[in-house]
Amino acid sequence: MQWPDGEQKTLGYFALVSYIPDPLARFLDDLRLELTPGCNPRAHVTVLPPRPHHSDIQETIKHIIEGSRCFAPFHVELGEVEIFDTSNVIYISIKEGLRELHKMYTFLNRGHLEYRENFPYHPHITIAQSMEPAETRRAATST
């Protein structure tokens, strides 16, 4: 976005997620609250991780709507409880639907939404983060 002084500024950050419906969402949110009290859970699978957003929001919405039409609905099945070692995040892996999520990510991560994240795209459902490494291991094995 161009401001009156000619400077480029971001409108903030943008992410695209698919929220998980109840009753599974309620279970996952309760589990996350049990493991990390005080967090603000909302169970979801990320399609596009957060990225700076500099474009017109209507243009972004149009890009997503047009891109989404290229994909038929697909089944997602959850896998095992795992840990991202680098960040100590406990998550549930995606067992089925992984290929489709990667295709969506690749298709939508272009144009003004293109962004190179710090980590490779890895669809998952976060169930705990911001824990000490030893606590993370204990929590992951008891889940």
pLDDT tens-digit series, residues 11-34: 588 899 999 999 999 999 999 999
CA 107 to CA 109: how far, in whole Å? 6
List the structure tokens of 124.
Answer: 């998952």
Triad 10, 102, 117: Cα angle to 5°: 35
Q: Is 5 exposed, middle or buried (0-12, 13-18, 19+ CB in 10 A)?
A: exposed
Per the domain annotation, does 35 fall within a domain? yes
Per the domain annotation, does 92 fall within a domain? no
Q: What is the pLDDT of residues 28-82, one digit of tens each?
A: 999 999 999 999 999 999 999 999 988 888 989 998 999 889 999 999 999 999 9
Per the domain annotation, does 115 fall within a domain? yes
CA 14 to CA 12: how far, in whole Å? 7
Q: Which domain holds residue 103?
A: 12-77+97-123
Per the domain annotation, does 17 fall within a domain? yes
Per the domain annotation, does 130 fall within a domain? no
Tally of domains in the chain: 1
Per the domain annotation, does 68 fall within a domain? yes
Per the domain annotation, does 5 fall within a domain? no
Q: Report pTM.
A: 0.83
77 phi/psi in degrees, rounded to 5: -120, 135
